[in-house]
Amino acid sequence: MTVPEEELLLSVHSDTESIKEVEEEPLYEELTALRSQFNEINEESKKLSDKLLKMKIEYMRSLTSNPDSAACRVRRGMTFEIDDCKFHLKAMTSPDYQPLVDNKRIIEKLQERITLMNMELITEREHKEKILKNIKDHLKEIEDKRQKGKEDLKEFEEKRQKEKKQKTEEKPYEIDLYCNHSVTGELVRKILKVHKNELLPSVLDKAYELMELAPHIPIERCRLVQYNYVDKVMDQSFDLDEFQHQTIRQLVLGGAGGYYSFALFLETCKQNETFKKYIYKGIVVDLSTGEVGPAKPMKGYDGWTVVELKQHIGELFNIDSSCMRLVVMKEGTTSIHELRDGHTSKLDGVKKLYVSSDPKDYKKEFKDSLMYRYVEFHINSILLDITLPPGPEATPTTSNVTKRGIIMKIISIIKESDKEKRILVQVSKRTTLAQLKEALVPLVGVQPTGFIVCGYKTKFGSIPSSDHEEYEMEELDETFKDGSKLIVRLGRALRRGEKRIKLYLLQINNTEFCKFMMDTGYAKDTPVREFKKQIIEEAKVLGIDCVLELDKMRLWEKNGVFLGTLYLDHDWIGEAWIGGTTRRIDDTNREIHVYVEPLKGPEKKMLRYKQVQVYVIRWRPSQCSVDSIEEIILDDGYDHEHVIEKLSELSGVPAEYIYYSEHKKFPVEISCLDIENKFEWYSISSYRFSFELYDDGYVLYYKDNRETMKELTYEERYEIRRAEKARLNRIKEIKALYSID
């Protein structure tokens, strides 16, 4: 039979409640017992607390009632002290209290002293104020006197200047006056004294009287002319119809040289003759040389035609007027134009008149003529200071005209040396870089593509004249400034991406072992062999006097004048090897300098680290001389027996007789008279741990030890010493010349 779910749940709940009632009955009884015990303990604790309080009160009472207790004694002592303090306080408030009386007396004395000190301070302050007032009054008096003295001095100075000015104004001009004597015709010089404000007619009267021309020549046939007594020429005529209202001061100030160089000439003319005006200066141009002559004052009339002017100039300068060309330049300008026949001269404002006479050039159009080129060049030219490499001889010349009409004139050679020469040249201010290079071709000896022109620029922060940096001029239409300093370098202009490299010819058997070849360019990662081909081609273009063959030439890095890295054909130009590592020289931002060495045969060194190139010089003691420099290639640079073996193969001397010196850098500076004694010599039997020669380009001396030293006579020793001294001095000069490159 199935029981319903609800009835089942009610039955379970009823059982649970019954269990709870059974469990709670003993717990309640236990709790009631514990509460009863707590109440009993609490009541007992309260009783004990009350008892303790009563005991404390009784104890305190016992202390008060006992006079011998410690507390009682302390209390009595404190009472006595309090009473004593009260007594003293009462005494101190009494007017008769002695300490108080003393203090009052002290205070009164102090107050009296303070009063006296205040009075003294007031008196002192008044005294100081009086002194300050006296000082101010004294300073004011001094300042007034100084101002008065200053005003008096100013008044005196003004008076003195006024008197000086008055004296100066009153002081006459003292002018040199020249005149041809009316009787003897000799040139006479006298001092003409005139006041600066005198008019020209008055000055003429005094000059006429001073020269004592009356009665030989009337004053109407006289006039004054500004005279250049240095060149003995007339500069300007002072005609009365034009200058009669001007003072001598105005004429002096209008002169070119000022008062101290101003001179007058009393000019005369014949009867029935009229004076001609000195209105311009004639300058003759020699078209055969391009020389522009000195200016000479000329007489003339404003109304003259060009033909009349030419006839007059032809007579004056003794030149043919039929093929004469006249070129004028207006004052204050640099432009020129030609005066053509059939016109009036129109010389207003013209101060210089250029003249030439050449039948061939006269037929040309003005701007196509040499006359135009030379005059225009003369007026619009600048000077350039140019340093040239060794080349054709340069001498001061007349003006040279190139095929394109470029004019360049060598003014002077400033300095010459084996390495370079400096010249001062005159060129047109419109000359471009391309035109200058064309004009320099005869002086450099190569075509414009074979050399470059460099200028100088001042480094940042430096004095312009003390520190300049060279730079290559690349813009062909670039012009120059007057006084520019330039330097010409052999070599072509750089192409895009190239860097500059300087080449020097290395001649090991020549006293002048180093010689500049040219500047050129190299591209990054150019193989050495390809660069050698480039050098050969460019050397031919430049006409360099040196035989170069591709397989018979060697390139060295140039360190000062010494030899650096030896470049092999499979290397790249622009690299240096240091301690077995490769470093690009161009990465260090320094210019590359390279030696080019011609060889007698093909290059023998093929390996960089396993072979060492050595120059060797045979010393012959029996002759007191040396042979030409040769070379050996060592396969083991650490074994001195290997060195002796190579020297024996080269010389044919048995190895046991070979002696060699310590290695030296090229070039070696030692006299033949010192080789035997100043070197240490090593043989195959010498003890030496390691030869230690691992760099190329060093020099060894060696000898046949069987030779005995030659005994020199005095004359022989003297001649050798003299020759060796000259040779060593020349080596020093070459080192000094090229060590700074």
Task: Tell me which amino acid residue 357 is.
Answer: S
Predicted confidence (pLDDT) per residue in 428-468, tens digit: 888 899 889 888 888 888 888 888 899 887 554 444 444 56
Q: What is the model's pLDDT at position 565?
A: 87
Distances (CA, A) of 140 to 137, 146, 627, 721: 5, 10, 100, 89
pLDDT value at 30 more than 80: no
Where is average pLDDT lowest: 216-230, 466-480, 724-738?
466-480
What is Dmax (Cα atoms) for the chain? 193
Which residue in 548, 498, 488 sits closest to 518, CA to CA? 488
Task: Tell me which amino acid residue 625 is.
Answer: S
Q: What is the model's pLDDT at position 66?
A: 66
37, 38, 44, 48 alpha-carbon torsion, rounded to 10°: 150
Q: What is the model's pLDDT at position 585?
A: 41
Phi and psi at residue 486, in whole multiples of 5°? -130, 160
Query: Residue 406: pLDDT band by 50, 70, 90 thresholds?
Result: low
Give the separation between CA 640 and CA 624, rounded to whole angstroms. Answer: 26
Pair of tokens at residue 709: 């030293």
Top mean-pLDDT range of 231-235, 368-372, 656-660: 656-660
**Total residues found in the chain within this entry:** 741
Pair of tokens at residue 25: 């009955």
Q: What is the model's pLDDT at position 581?
A: 36
Cis peptide before 464 (omega within 30 of 0): no
Q: Hey, which residues does 703 pair with through a beta bridge?
A: 659
Query: What average pLDDT score do residues 1-9 get?
Result: 51
pLDDT value at 648 more than 90: yes
Q: What is the model's pLDDT at position 120?
A: 86
Q: Confirm whether pTM is higher than 0.75.
A: no
The full set of domains in the chain, from first to last, is 173-268 (3.10.20.90), 277-375 (3.10.20.90), 380-490 (3.10.20.90), 612-710 (3.10.20)
Q: Are 247 and 198 in contact (CB under 8 A)?
A: yes
Task: Tell me which amino acid residue 645 is.
Answer: E
Top mean-pLDDT range of 100-114, 549-563, 636-650: 549-563
Angle at 633 between CA 629 and CA 636, to 5 degrees: 135
DSSP structural state of residue 655: G
Buried b / exposed e along 156-170 (16+ C-beta atoms within 10 A) = eeeeeeeeeeeeeee
Q: Hey, which residues does 558 pair with through a beta bridge?
A: 563
Give the separation between CA 659 and CA 626, rounded to whole angstroms. Answer: 14
Which residue in 612, 610, 685, 684 sits closest to 641, CA to CA? 684
State the DSSP string of 146-189.
HHHHHHHHHHHHHHHHHHHHHHHHHSPEEEEEEEE-TTT--EEE
pLDDT value at 526 more than 70: yes
Give the separation between CA 489 and CA 446, rounded to whole angstroms. Answer: 11
Query: Residue 46: pLDDT band by 50, 70, 90 thresholds?
Result: confident
Give the separation between CA 349 and CA 280, rounded to whole angstroms. Answer: 9
Where is average pLDDT lowest: 26-35, 360-369, 526-535, 711-720?
26-35
Phi-psi map region of 450: left, alpha, beta (phi>0 left; psi -120 to 50 alpha): alpha
Reduced to 3 states (helix: H, G, I; strand: E, B; else coil), residue 444 is helix
Q: What is the model's pLDDT at position 583?
A: 40
Phi and psi at residue 49, in whole multiples of 5°? -65, -45
